[in-house]
Amino acid sequence: MISRLFVYSLLFFATFSIAQASDLSTLYSSEHLQERHDRYEPALRANFNRLVLGSLTREERARLGHVQLELPLRAPGKEGSNPLSFYAVRNTVVMPIQSIKFFDDLSLAWAYAWSNNLSLENVTDYVSVLKYQKPPADGFPAPLVALGVAPDIWKRDKRVDDVSQKILKSAIVWIMAHEVAHLLFQHPGYGPQVSVQQAQANEAEADRFANEIMRRIGVAPGGMANFFVTLAHWSSNRGDFASDAKWQAFLKEEATHPFTAARMQALAADLRRDPGSFSIEAQDRYTGKQNVLYIASQIDDIATILNDLDIQRSIAAKAQATKLSALSYTPQKTSASNGLFSGTFNGSFEHFLSDDSTELLGLTVNLNRRKNHVTGSFDFGLGQGSIEGFISNKQLRFEWSWGANFGQGILNSNTTGNQLTGQLGYQAFDHNAGRWQLSRD
């Protein structure tokens, strides 16, 4: 275990760079998106016409006027690199196939993890990696490839199919209704001409209307929580900016769909206003009501992320230090190395504290020694860092890196090699970023 002081000291020193400008339009080939277009289109148009437009009152339908649904393979212009781009312009709701496919893949991965009792965080960690890391030379892999989920798993596991479809369909209908609301209420596009307060009010109004459509349909908007937690790991947040003034300027000048804690809190409150109205189709109305309250609690958790600068910085730090291969649910097996030294400064260790401190975070350290050369890794829940150093005078002096951050460190071993003690420093130092007390696992 490790004191939170170690984490806070690293986060204080750490620097994060956002790579969201990376072009993600190559996640899927145009041929694949065209195949998806042909498969998605009938259901998308049916949901748009019957569930969204078909749920409008006569007065709302007349006020909305002519509206159409466009399904381009990718969003035009710079929005084409955004895998979560949905918007309304003039009399048109635009739902790019790339964005639908991306969320479809995430939904399938979530369902697979849930069905197999695996960590759901791998999915959002993948999204954060897309945001904060530079793409490899051949581009980022698509979600199912990166997460090691077979694209046809839904055919072999009915639970995966059922859960993934519920996530995807409810989210897509909710998003369609949200974009229709912008047209219905004649919200202007965002930019310097629209104040931050007005932009946030417009989003809140569209959110409430999307919820109202789901109420009229009688279906809980469960996929909405998955969509917003994805946005929480993809969208720009306060932690990406050096000051609050720069963050506010971004909201005013660049944010197309302001994504704030206040918006999430208002959305959760609206769900709690009449949770039973979403469960008309549920066989058990009480269970349906409890499900909506659970969705509201998930939305509140997202608001916590958007309100907490430390959480935002932790997400960024973890993303920069995470290897894509570590996110796969079916990692490749690696053969054990031969000829490793079996004595000191070698093996798997866990951090321990000798005092009664209760603020603890897990830390594991793996060291591989060949003669006096030691390589290894460490992990404290925010992605994996690397270690490399040499032994001199029975002491390991090493350099460590964690995402874009680096420093030096010193470890000393007891006579049996079962316990290591030492300290870390940031950049040119070897002593100002916390202490390690390691015990062989």
Mean per-residue pLDDT for 143-172? 94
Give the residue from 292, 327, 362 where a domain finishes. 327
Residue 9 in domain: no
Residue 1 in domain: no
What distance in Å separates the CA atoms of residue 258 and residue 197, rounded to the nearest whole number? Answer: 10
Same domain, 321 and 386: no
The pLDDT, as a whole number, for residue 340 is: 42
The pLDDT, as a whole number, for residue 236 is: 87
Same domain, 355 and 298: no
Same domain, 361 and 289: no
Same domain, 308 and 370: no
Q: Could you tell me the residue range of the domain that residue 373 belongs to?
A: 347-440
Copy the structure tokens of residue 314.
């932790």
Which run of H or E residues covers position 111? helix 97-115
Same domain, 224 and 318: yes
- Please say whether the beta carbons of 367 and 387 come within 8 A: yes
pLDDT digits (tens, 9 = 90+) for 340-395: 445 688 888 887 644 444 444 567 888 888 878 888 888 766 667 788 888 877 78
Please count the CA atoms within 13 angstroms of the CA of 266 that sit on its side-chain side: 15
Q: What is the DSSP string of 168-213?
A: HHHHHHHHHHHHHHHHHTTPPPPSTTS-HHHHHHHHHHHHHHHHHH
Give the residue from 327, 357, 384 where a domain finishes. 327
Residue 106 in domain: yes
The pLDDT, as a whole number, for residue 13 is: 45
Same domain, 204 and 56: yes
Contacts of 34 (CB under 8 A, 6+ apart): 73
Same domain, 416 and 355: yes
pLDDT digits (tens, 9 = 90+) for 280-334: 666 677 888 888 999 999 999 999 999 998 888 888 888 888 888 889 998 655 4
Domain count, the chain: 2
pLDDT digits (tens, 9 = 90+) for 17-76: 454 456 788 899 999 999 999 999 999 999 999 999 999 999 999 999 999 999 999 999
The pLDDT, as a whole number, for residue 335 is: 43
Full-model pTM = 0.78
Shortest CA distance to 47 belongs to which of 219, 227, 296, 283?
219
What distance in Å separates the CA atoms of residue 2 and residue 299, rounded to the nearest whole number? Answer: 30
What distance in Å separates the CA atoms of residue 119 and residue 122, rounded to the nearest whole number? Answer: 6
Residue 165 has pLDDT above 60, yes or no: yes
Same domain, 320 and 355: no
The pLDDT, as a whole number, for residue 381 is: 65
- Please say whether the beta carbons of 296 and 331 come within 8 A: no
Residue 401 in domain: yes
| Pairing state between β 92-94 and 68-70 | parallel
Same domain, 222 and 317: yes
pLDDT digits (tens, 9 = 90+) for 180-207: 999 999 988 776 677 878 888 898 999 9
Residue 333 in domain: no
Same domain, 283 and 182: yes
Task: Give residue 377's identity as a one-letter amino acid code.
Answer: S
Residue 65 in domain: yes
- Please say whether the beta carbons of 97 and 73 come within 8 A: yes
Same domain, 92 and 43: yes
The pLDDT, as a whole number, for residue 355 is: 46
- Please say whether the beta carbons of 424 and 430 come within 8 A: yes
Residue 79 has pLDDT above 80, yes or no: yes
Residue 412 in domain: yes
Residue 105 has pLDDT above 60, yes or no: yes
Residue 99: exposure state from Cβ atoms within 10 A (0-12, 13-18, ≥19): buried
Same domain, 268 and 361: no
CATH number at residue 424: 2.40.128
Task: Give residue 317's identity as a one-letter amino acid code.
Answer: A
The pLDDT, as a whole number, for residue 6 is: 47
Distances (CA, A) of 236 to 247, 252, 322, 330: 9, 13, 19, 30
Residue 20 in domain: no
The pLDDT, as a whole number, for residue 356 is: 46
